[in-house]
Amino acid sequence: MSKIYENNEIIDKKDLAPSIKLMKIYAPLIAKKAKPGNFIIIRIHENGERFPLTIVDNDKNNGTITIIFQEVGKSTKLLGNMNIGQKILDIVGPLGNPTNIENYGNVCCIGGGVGVACIYPIAKALKEAGNKLITIIGARNSSLLILEEELKNISDEFYVCTDDGSKGFHGFVTDMLKKLLNEKKKIDIVYAVGPAIMMKAVSEITKPYKIKTIVSLNSIMVDGTGMCGACRIEINGETKFTCVHGPEFDGHKVNFDLLLRRLKMYEKYELEALSSLK
């Protein structure tokens, strides 16, 4: 890049779908170290909350990281309102443990909703490691699908699902997974990222087949370094912190019911904060 940018400066911004945005941010130190599976924690302004976002891509040469997010609450809407040239107050990362990338054989990567953005760097790295890549992505309707071409271009088999049937397979990503398994499709490992209820369903489907299933959890997070305990989850009966022990875990060992309950803890306050923007 010929232009000189400041740290945390937004240098590109795109609308990928209704309420889903892509931003490229100048953060050279993070870009230098980031790996698939890592995330950052952002604070937009002095009084803002800290919230995590997956690093979708990083360019070490240009010093940039790419994030994709959906405007669902006050903080993500404020971030979505920021423009090229503005600076984000704080960005911490890369955080979390990177994805364990190796040649497993036949890998199935499943992304639901904005989780497609999180599965993309993982799928890309797994393909580069020599795996045969089966990719399933899904959204409520065709207008909310993202990164279709990018994932199609690296996949050996590629399936699109929509809840309303407006594109591809009419049904959930889990329905497509069941279909492939019923057809005796050889799958050695599954990676799934999306809403917690989707990851729970994927894990329940693969468990009888004894297919190792890795999920990237989206628990509530504050500091991202294991100090606050907000992101605690239960893995195989033990308490773990998503930020330092994850974000990826064996889906067959996750207490998803507890995770789902914890994700709803602050719904009332999130709605109140969101209403303050109106």
pLDDT for position 225: 85
What pTM does this model have? 0.92
Rounded to an integer, the average pLDDT of 231-260 is 94
Q: Is the pLDDT of residue 22 over 90?
A: yes
pLDDT for position 16: 94
Q: Is the pLDDT of residue 264 over 90?
A: no
Q: Could you tell me the pLDDT band of residue 2, with boundaries at 50, 70 and 90? A: low
Higher pLDDT, 230 or 109: 109
What are the strands, taking DSSP E only, across the chain? 9-17, 20-26, 39-43, 51-54, 57-59, 64-70, 90-95, 106-112, 132-139, 157-162, 169-170, 189-193, 212-216, 232-235, 238-241, 248-250
- What the chain holds in terms of domains, given with CATH numbers, is 9-95 (2.40.30.10), 106-263 (3.40.50.80)
pLDDT tens, position by position, 86-128:
999 999 999 999 999 999 999 999 999 999 999 999 999 999 9
pLDDT for position 224: 83
Q: Is the pLDDT of residue 229 over 80?
A: yes
pLDDT tens, position by position, 165-181:
999 999 999 999 999 99
